[in-house]
Amino acid sequence: MAPYICSIVPPYLLEGIIQSLECDEKHRQAAQNSLTHRNNYTAKRCDRLAALAQPRAARAQHQVTTQQSIVPDFLLKQIAEAEGVDEETKARAERDRGHIQLVTQQYKKALAPEAEGSSGEQHTLAAAGKKTPGVYRAVYDAQHTEDEETLPGELLRVEGQKASLDAGANEAFDNVGKVLDFYLKTFDWKSIDNRNMHVLSSVHFGKEYENAFWDPDRMQMVFGDGHDFLYHFTKCIDVIGHELTHAVTEHTSPLEYEGQAGALNEHISDVFGIMIKQKVEDETADKADWLIGEGCLLPDVKGVALRSMKEPGTAYNDPRFGKDPQPAHMSGYKPTTEDNGGVHMFSGIPNRAFYLASVAFGGYSWEKAGQIWWKTMNSGRVPSRCNFLQFADVTTEIAEELYGDEGAKIVRQAWNEVGVQRKH
């Protein structure tokens, strides 16, 4: 089953550029290329999430294919042989590389019914009495290709190595580390899959490519350099947090990428992306700006970010690509066939609910509201085709379990304020 690609820049923004009379042909063509690239993978994304929602037997082959990419031999070989890598990291890479053949041979055995809940890698290492390895990061130069088959590209920096001469590579390396650190320290979650999956990134993807995305087909982050409107993707910690969270979602409660379930999928990525940004900037919920992709818009763009969780629909208003179309309330929700049922458009509704709950709880967003959303995604109560009201109900139940009646009241009120409420 082929996986999907999620990109941080929503399709409606690219469509705005394509249709705008304020943009010249070069800019419209660049936006069209980016949109075409995204659309080519959207159907595959839906297939992957649909497969993850199937019973274990139906998805076994998909899982085997996925797990084989978790421990990339070439990465460990590069770490072990690269100049400038510290000796401790080299030794660990050599040790872990020696396990790969055993791990590969045991994948299907590990995916047997009695191994439910364990990845092939984790099961095999445990059976062999080996300690699960730590996370390795690596950043590569895509050398401006738009062909995923050639990724990751030329190695620029690996775990244990000093900073590269490439500023974008260092930004990607450091910010991926901050995202993983947040998940570990805040939720005791190890890397993307809770089993110390290694994280690869490629910078300089495409020519003047104005986007960034998580590509599960290659199991890595991919960053364009940007051009006339959008840039600095490797600098935006919330962008990286958003994209990596799509992978985390697959390992918690996979939400189908269609309609309200798809909008919740996007919402979850925004929630954890914004919490990571607020953590890095040490901002409490009431003091934070709640802007996603704040650093991605070039200075001459009339706007402040790609999205606003506090006030959806107010992030930008530029004649070259239009006004932010996100509604902040269910009164603005209209079923559509575009963008897989408006997965980017309508994520603003639950986004505002999370903002309202965070501010009502007070303190830092990850202390209470974030814990509720995290435990919701790990509760087993979120169906793959979950709608907004179902998700609201589960978050309210979790809030009551964690923080009593007052917590439940805060969360329910947040959903009520955005129009996601039960009819009496």
Token pair, residue 49, equals 């999430």
Integer CA distances (angstroms), 279 to 180, 249, 274, in order: 12, 20, 8
Q: Which two tokens stand for residue 155?
A: 């190695």
Closest by CA position to 137, among listed 95, 100, 190, 180: 180
- Contact, 251 vs 102, CB < 8 A? no
The torsion region of residue 349 among left (phi > 0), alpha (psi -120 to 50) and beta comes to alpha
Burial 1-27 (b: 16+ CB within 10 A, else e): bebbbbbbbbbbbbbbbbebeebeeeb
Helix/strand/coil percent split, the chain, to 5: 50, 10, 40
CA-based R_g, the chain, Å:
21
Give the active site residue among 159, 171, 243, 266.
Answer: 243
Give the containing element (helix H, strand E) for 32. helix 25-52
Paired tokens of 249: 């979602």
The residue annotated as part of the active site, out of 37, 123, 267, 344, is 344
Cβ neighbours of residue 222 closer than 8 Å, sequence gap 6 or more: 142, 148, 151, 201, 202, 205, 212, 213, 214, 215
Which among 203, 148, 143, 202 is positioned nearest to 38, based on CA atoms?
148
Indicate if 344 belongs to the active site.
yes
CB contact set of 313 (below 8 Å; sequence gap of 6+): 323, 324, 325, 326, 327, 328, 348
Q: Is 243 a catalytic residue?
A: yes
The secondary element (H helix, E strand) that includes residue 62 is helix 56-67
CA–CA separation, 97 vs 76, rounded Å? 6
Which residues does 2 contact at the CB level (< 8 Å), separation at least 6?
44, 47, 48, 217
The residues that are catalytic are 243, 344
